[in-house]
Structure 1
Amino acid sequence: MRKKNRNKLAVMLSAAMLMSALPGTAFAESATNPAQAASDAAGGASSSSEGSAGQIETEAPVDVAITKEKAEALARQYVSIPKEYTLQGASFSMDVLAGGKRNAWGLDFVKKANGKHVGSIYVRIHADSGQLLEFSSYTNNPSAKPTYPLKVERDTAQEIALKFIAAVAAKYEDQIQYNPDYGAQLLPPLTGAVTHHIRFDRIVGDIPYVDNYIELQVDSEGHITSFSLQWDDTAVFPKVDTKLTPEEAGAKLREAASPQLSYIVPHNPQGVRKPMLSYDLQAIAIDAVTGELKGSNEHYYRAGTVSETPVSEKPLGEAPKAGTVTEKQAVDAVKAAFKLPGDAELSSSNYSEQHNEGTGTNEAYWHLGWTIKKDGKETGSAHASVDGRTGAVRSYYIYYHSEQAGGNQSVTLEQATTLAVEAVKKHLPWLAHELYLVKPHPDQYKDIQPGEHTQYYLSFVHKVHGATAEYDNVGVAIDSRTGDVVNFDANISSFAYPAEAPALISKDAAVDKWMDYYRTQLTYRLVQQFTWNGQPIPIEKYKVMLAAGEIDANEVKTSTEAELVYRLVPKLVEESVFLDAQSGDWRNRETGEATQLEKPQAADIEGHWAQRQLELMVAYKALDVKDGKVRPNELVTRGELIKMLVLARNAGRSPILYGAADGAEGKASFDDVASNSSYFVYVESALEQNLIDIGDGSFNPEGKVTRDEMAELIVRALGYNALANYDYIFQSNFKDAAQIANKGQAAIAVGLKIMSLSDGKFLPKKQVTRAEASVAFFRYLQSRADLQEAPIRM
């Protein structure tokens, strides 16, 4: 809604100026009585000239209760805008609501220093009531740095948000309910640069209306950086005497659920990527009173509906054999496939080869271009891509600089569809039984007049054994006057699929799994109602009748009403997942690795001296949990330690390797950490970042780690390893200094309180436990935040 359809009344602020961080307490203190502030402004309070230098003084041509000057006065009271922030721009806009409209002022305040923008605050004020609708702020302060762990956790941020709401939107206090799911981070943060997203949903008769809410952002220092009141006071909610129970609704939703099969290709950093079968289930909703499914459960794709049957029942030919295709053969293939004008001149030809690491195959392509001339003048061009191994045309496109004569014929959508299907049969005969036409919606080309020159775009979905290959697509464009194919694009991957359909879990079993993923939510939602000749008509029928010209849009009355529904809403899950249609396991959508919706809890760390740090490592899977135990007092392995370090440096995300995995071979740098090892990506990433050395070519992932080795690893991660080699500049009084190989590193680790001494001894040969390693890396995160260097200002 922000800044939408604004009419500019003054010089507007650059889009790059966004938000500033001012203490939330300052905001709350400045608006202890916002109702009084609004009343004062509406009664004639004028903005102070103080802090308004540079403002363009104009009288806004609008008739509302709150003038621009009053809106500025309110903004400065609500948000406590410092006087050095001047009003840079103002805009007036109107929002359409369910039963009316809302006028609003948008105000941009800017702070400048030495001619540069160093801060900005945007405020939106209701132009009739004076209510604060929105604010956001930004300060360019490169010297500010976050601390770790967070000073303000999410529960405290919630309290700060409630205090601010009480100050600026008190009338809504008893109509909202905290939404614990929105913006929640299931994984504890590994950095102090965190903003808490807090939302309070509107409650109507004990039922949430989740499309209305109050949302705030609170940073880890406790500053409110944004506020948004998304609320429609004109919405009318129906009185509901009876409704389905949650159990009845769950049964109805389960009955309506229809999982769809699809192939997806998770990213595999360890070698060749392989398609995996997934059962997908989109969230659906039912009427909370009748249990009727709301909306269509048809499978829509792009701008149409996927046909239930393929282009042909069986393959219409064999796939072309791989070989070597010459330029002449590539050119002949294009000329044989499409109506390339006879006077077209070949103007460009390029051949390229590449190894596709994702599929493990070698690919080659001819990229060809033609210039089309008439009477010696260039009138158009054509381009094509041909598979350099098989000679199959992958893409074709022809373009004319000016409209060409096309005769008197006019191709209908139905005729264009037939032509597109025939083109697919001709150019992809070996795939015709796996390609499904996407039928365009009836009104997509309703405005085309007879003889008008345009193009029909038809697309096809690739299905293998009934499962949609989401990464493949085929598109055909047909000229509406000539019926010629003017664009053909066959983006079909070279993945290998099983000859026979694999055994799958049942659809009922898939639904059971997905019902564990979703939760059932009772809520209101707004829907448009259409009435024609005094009778209500469904939106689908309205669109069809309008497209067919059976009704005039001006004859149809529209209204917006609220309806009560039960709907499926995803539960909080740490990662993006998919359901393996063959095994029934949940898998990570990015990596394809097996996972769980609910992570196992370690039963042997409750009350442990390193409980918090161990929980952090377990949350990020840096330490595994076996049989419900994390085994904190066991010795940590080299593989586990490297995984901890890389995750810590990468904010908890698994690293992406560039060039470490070599296609099908999955070539590894160390002879004892193969590409299928769970440590592979972490060890290779550590090597790329110069955290470890190649040495003799072995890594020994299951080997144990001494305190001496861990100190060097941590100091390398901090970027001080070269400095640590000058150990004589560090003051250290270790009793066992003579036994320490890495004295400078030990001194830095101890000096930063990442590692500690025992009776004055560093104990360099002592092997590190899983708990000790967890604590060390937690302290590493703290030190990394403390050591963040601010730039020197000259």
Structure 2
Amino acid sequence: MKLIKKAAPIAVASALLLSIAPQAWAADEPAATASTQSSLPFPGQQEGKTVEPTVTKEQAIELAKKYVTIPADYKLESASLNAFWGYAGQNIPSWSLNYTKKIKDHYYANINVSIHGLNGKLTGYNAYTADPEKKPSYPPKVDFQAAKNIADGWLKKLNPDETVQYNDQAEKSFRTPLNGNYTYNIRYDRVVNGVIFPQDGINVDVNGEGDVLGYSFRWTDGVTFEQGVQPIGLEKALQAFRDKADIALSYEIPYQPREERKPIITYSMNNFMIDAGKGQPWNPLNLPVLSGSDKKPLTDKPLAGKPASDLNLTKEEAIAKATAAFGLLKGYKLDNASYNEQIDPTTGKTSASWSLRWNVDSSDKDSKLRGFEGAWANVNAKTGEVTNFSRNIPYTVDGQTKFEPKVGLDEAKKKAIEFVRQYLPAHTHQLVLDDAGLQQVSEEQLKELRTWDIRFNRVIDGVNANHENVSIGIDRETGQIVNYYGSLSEIDYPTTKPEVISEEKAKDLLFSQYDVQLSYVASQGFGTYAGNSIMDQKLKVMIAAGEIPPSALNASGKVEAKLVYTLVSKYTREPFFLDAQNGQWRNASNGEPIVLETVKATDIDGHWAQRELQLMLDYQALDLKDGKVIPNQAMTRGEMIKMLVIAMNGGNYGIYYGAERTASFKDVANGSAYFAYVENGVDRGLIDPGTNFNPNEKMSREDMSQLIVRALGYKQLAENQDVFNKNFADASELKHVGQVAIVVGLGIMSLSDGSFKPSEDVNRAQAATAFFRYLQKREELQQAPRFY
């Protein structure tokens, strides 16, 4: 194995590397069986023949035992031969072996191994056990570096000849986990000519105990890598990205905000690659690099007011609205009509709609609709507006996948604009035609387009409205509208653009979240991979159904990889966006301000609780004040419940309660910074609802002991005070002897000169330490896994 330790690869690598899914448990008596699964044929496939394996079942079994440790009490449950599509139009064989361990007819553990049917390589491994005696420890026994060392050992054993590079993206985003049941995902990317090819590579999964639970290998054969290119260099590549980036203003709405859902104006940019030799934008599959088009709406003012919302359409009236907009569906018959009402979580308004479905009338022997499947429509029952319409049409025309269209782009755009003006007159002043992609489609690709897809973006005073748009699909043969989708909401957007930071400053911030990386990327197709390639299977089905053209895949057997520069995200822990008004990063889930870099306090280096305080800072369970954590500052009740809830939720602080949630305490209303944590604490039984919570009061040691005992699930046990040791010097001052005895007995909290000091305030360092110990004991005391 040749291992290169350098920078991180492109972000798409993990998406393109698909691991092997575990086989389903066999229902009958365990037995080794073999079966062949054929791939679906599709237009453009050369042979479609399954390649016969050169590795027999018996050889695959022996190889599996060589590669991984399979305990003697594991029995071979099944051996399946599967076939997966490859670049040369062939189906590549792969053996999938499933080993299980049973105890009293219950499945106890399993190991899945995948062996390449041609070269005998290990392409996949997954292990699972429900051993009740094996509980994870906290903190994990192995840290990230130790897990990487274990993964390196697997590479040296299994892949001594492949040249790979360690992908440090996961390590850069790593935070110490909040539970012991943790898996480190160690990734290595293929290297060719000193450049990474991240669509190929190796994944090794190591748990906190140091056990390898997963392995996957993808290595594409027959790739031609671009040669003779002199890269322009990282500095010029970064400048090319800046010059070509389309910076746009948009309104984003967090889907789980702490307060009422309101639009936040943001800056964003398109994602693309740069041709390493030419310095121009490029992307795979020869698709055009999309960019923003003119922001001028169809009209300066709306052509009409918004329709009244009091129609309450009947089924017949809804059908009439749909057929008036899209024409009578001759040869179809209505198959289903359903009425639905729902409350919009964003606006709180009740909406009603009719969902209509037509199928081709099979009784019409003279029907010209052979190959057509049906049509669907949604009609707003209150306003009479048609919100969706779709008519399935075959991809081919007279058996041909390429044809000369009878309807040109200009004619299609004109028809789409006329439709919008007629049926969406109240929105024409906010709808902008976006045809940038269509204008860049090559002549060859145009011959395979069955429909013109005309898109109108909703833009309000130059700001895109939360990805809202209207999309119209026009048949290039008949000129009919065969697809229509409108996502225009009733959200209260600003009518004029707010004050925002400059576009140049926004670019600085947006590009600060990326590194520029030189890499190879396959120009077409998705590679030969003897594994469970869900992507390949889905694409073949889509092509066979006529949903995408065959040229989306390279079935010629020629695979080319291009040398490009890519933007590599530095931060992958959670989705976020850039607030255009103040330049802050915000969590996409709740809209709260976040810091992308690891939070560092200036006053905890060398502190006795540095590890515990840093852990709480990493998950924003503690807030900094002027860059300081102030370890000796007393914790408030609000801060304490926030810390505990975040710790119990595994670091997820995006807890959401809508306006319908009634506050459990008068002094922590919906919209308070502590509301979600207090309500979650109530739901978890950590605190009981009452008149006041007093979030700004200091937290006492005895009150903290109650929270921890409830978090452990020992509330009822603690109430049996007679069974607990009361030998505390200040036992007479305790209101909750059971709770104090539990936290002291478990070592979560300690005594001082034999006294617990129940009324003493808890400071930040003490709280972080107590919760760290709580996490340790939670792992030790958790219930054993159940058999299934």
Are residues 1:748 and 2:745 paired? no
Instruction: Choose from 54, 74, 78 the match for 2:31.
Output: 54
Structure ID, larger Rg: 1
Asked if the contact 1:573–1:598 (Cα under 8 Å) also holds between the matched residues in 2, the reply is no
Higher mean Cα deviation, 557-566 or 641-650? 557-566
2:281 is the counterpart of 1:293 = yes
Question: What code does the residue aligned with 1:319 have?
Answer: G
Contact 2:98 2:110 in 1 (8 A): yes
- Relative to structure 1, the CA distance from residue 248 to residue 310 in structure 2 (aligned partners, 3 Å threshold; closer, same or farther) is closer
- Secondary structure of 2:170's counterpart equals coil
CA 1:299/1:498 → structure 2, altered by over 3 Å: closer, same or farther? farther
Distance 2:226 2:477 in 1: 52
How far did 1:673 drift? 2.4
2-structure distance, mates of 1:208, 1:143: 43
Distance 1:292 1:458 in 2: 26
Partner of 2:774: 780
Name the structure 2 match of 1:650: 649
1:405 paired residue number? none
TM value normalised by structure 1: 0.77
Matched, 1:134 2:133: no
How high is the TM-score relative to the length of structure 2? Answer: 0.77
Q: After the TM superposition, which residues 239-254 of structure 1 pair with which residues of structure 2 at under 5 Å, given as runs?
A: 242-254=230-242
- 1:406-435 per-position Cα deviation (integer Å, ceiling 9, x unaligned): xxxx98465555433322211211211322
Q: What is the RMSD computed on CA atoms of the aligned residues?
A: 4.5
Q: Is the contact between residue 185 and residue 206 of structure 2 (CA under 8 Å) also seen in structure 1? A: yes
Q: 99, 103, 109: which is aligned to 1:110?
A: 99
Q: Secondary structure of 2:645's match?
A: helix
Aligned residue pairs total 703
CA contact (8 A) 1:250 1:520 kept: yes
Deviation at 1:193, TM superposition (A): 1.2
Q: Which residue of 2 aligns with 1:720?
A: 714
* Shift in alpha-carbon separation, 1:792–1:466, aligned structure 2, 3 A: closer
How far 1:142 moved relative to its partner?
A: 5.8
- Pairing partner for 2:306 from 309, 313, 320: 320
Sort the Cα spacing of 1:103 and 1:585 in 2 relative to 1 into closer, same or farther, 3 A: same
Deviation of the 1:156 alpha carbon: 0.6
| Offset from partner CA, 1:52-73 (integer Å, 9 cap, x none) | 9833489999766533322221
Which residue of structure 2 aligns with residue 709 of structure 1?
Answer: 703
The whole-number CA distance in structure 1 between the counterparts of 2:93 and 2:60 is 9
Superposed, 1:326-725 pairs within 5 Å as 326-327=312-313, 331=317, 334=321, 338=325, 352=341, 354=343, 356-359=344-347, 361-365=348-352, 367=354, 384-386=378-380, 388=382, 391-395=383-387, 412=407, 417-437=413-433, 439=435, 446=447, 458-476=454-472, 488-527=484-523, 559-654=558-653, 656-659=655-658, 661-662=659-660, 668-696=663-691, 698-725=692-719
Would the alpha carbon gap of residues 358 and 120 (structure 1) be closer, same or farther in structure 2, given more than 3 Å must change?
Answer: same
Cα-to-partner distance string for 1:441-493 (whole Å, 9 max, x where unaligned): 67788569xxxxx9876543322233333442334466889866676543311
Query: 2:147 matched to 1:157?
Result: yes
Alignment-derived partner of residue 75 in structure 1: 64
In structure 2, relative to structure 1, the CA distance for the partners of 1:419 and 1:87 (3 Å cut) is same
Contact 1:132 1:169 in 2 (8 A): no
Give the secondary-structure state (helix, strand or coil) at the position aligned to 1:162: helix
CA distance in 1, matches of 2:588, 2:169: 21
- The alpha carbon displacement at 1:636 in A equals 0.7
Answer yes or no: is the 8 Å Cα contact 1:271–1:358 preserved in 2.
no
Residues 309 and 705 of structure 1, relative CA distance in 2, 3 Å threshold:
closer
Quick one: distance in 2 between partners of 1:495 and 1:261?
Answer: 17
Q: Identity over aligned residues, as a percent? A: 35
Do the aligned residues in 1 keep the contact of 2:297 with 2:432 (CA within 8 Å)? Answer: yes
* Range with bigger deviation, 518-527 or 643-652: 518-527
Larger RCO, structure (CA 8 Å, separation 6 or more) = 2
Once the two structures are superposed, residues 609-649 of structure 1 have per-residue CA deviations (whole angstroms, 9 ceiling, x without a partner) of: 11111111111111111222100011111111000111111
CA distance in 1, matches of 2:223, 2:328: 60
Q: How many Å apart are 1:16 and its aligned residue?
A: 3.4
Distance 2:708 2:297 in 1: 60
Q: Is the 8 A contact 2:301 2:428 kept in 1?
A: yes
Provide the C-alpha distance between the structure 2 equivalents of 1:395 and 1:373, rounded to a whole number of angstroms.
Answer: 22
The answer as to 2:764 corresponding to 1:770 is yes
What is the CA–CA distance in structure 2 between the aligned matches of 1:339 and 1:792, rounded to whole Å? 56
Matching of residues 155-304 of structure 1 within 5 Å: 155-172=145-162, 175-182=163-170, 185-232=173-220, 234-237=222-225, 242-295=230-283
CA 557–750 in structure 1, closer or farther in 2 if over 3 Å, else same? closer
Distance change in 2, residues 1:428/1:79 (3 Å):
same
Alpha-carbon spacing, 1:112–1:480, altered in 2? closer, same or farther (3 Å): same
Instruction: Provide the residue aligned with 2:542 in structure 1.
Output: none
Whether the 8 Å CA contact 1:477–1:487 is kept in 2: the answer is yes
Classify the secondary structure of the residue corresponding to 1:472. Answer: strand
Question: Take 1:432 and 1:253, find their aligned partners in 2: how far apart are those partners?
Answer: 33
* Contact kept? 1:183, 1:197, Cα under 8 Å: no
**Distance of 1:309 and 1:269 partners within structure 2:** 29
In 2, Cα distance between the equivalents of 1:372 and 1:124? Answer: 43
Change in CA separation of 1:273 and 1:231 when aligned onto 2, cut-off 3 Å: same
Residues 1:734 and 2:728 aligned together: yes
Distance across 1 between alignment mates of 2:385 and 2:170: 48
CA distance in 2, matches of 1:780, 1:598: 27
Contact kept in structure 1, 2:297 and 2:430, CA below 8 Å: yes
Query: Deviation digits for residues 726-752 of structure 1, max 9, x if unmatched?
Result: 111112311111100011111111111
Partner AA of 1:681 in structure 2: A
CA contact 1:71–1:105 (8 Å) conserved in 2: no
CA offset digits 1:575-605 (Å, max 9, x no partner): 3221122322222211222223224411111
Could you list the runs of 5+ residues in structure 1 that have no partner in the other structure?
5-11, 19-51, 402-409, 449-453, 530-546
| CA distance 1:267–1:327, shift in 2 (3 Å) | closer
CA contact (8 A) 2:377 2:386 kept: no
| Counterpart Cα distance in 2 of 1:556 and 1:94 | 14
| Distance in 2 (alpha carbons) for counterparts of 1:507 and 1:596 | 21
Q: Which moved more, 1:777-786 or 1:62-71?
A: 62-71
Partner SS for 2:565: strand
Secondary structure, counterpart of 1:646 in structure 2:
helix
Residue type at the aligned position of 1:565: V
* Mapped contact 2:390–2:483 kept (Cα < 8 A): yes
Q: Give the stretch that moved more between structures: 82-91 or 599-608.
A: 82-91
Q: Is the 8 A contact 1:104 1:124 kept in 2?
A: no
Matched AA of 1:74: L
Alpha-carbon distance, 1:261 to partner: 2.6
Cα deviation digits, residues 103-122 of structure 1 (max 9, x gap): 65323132253555544333
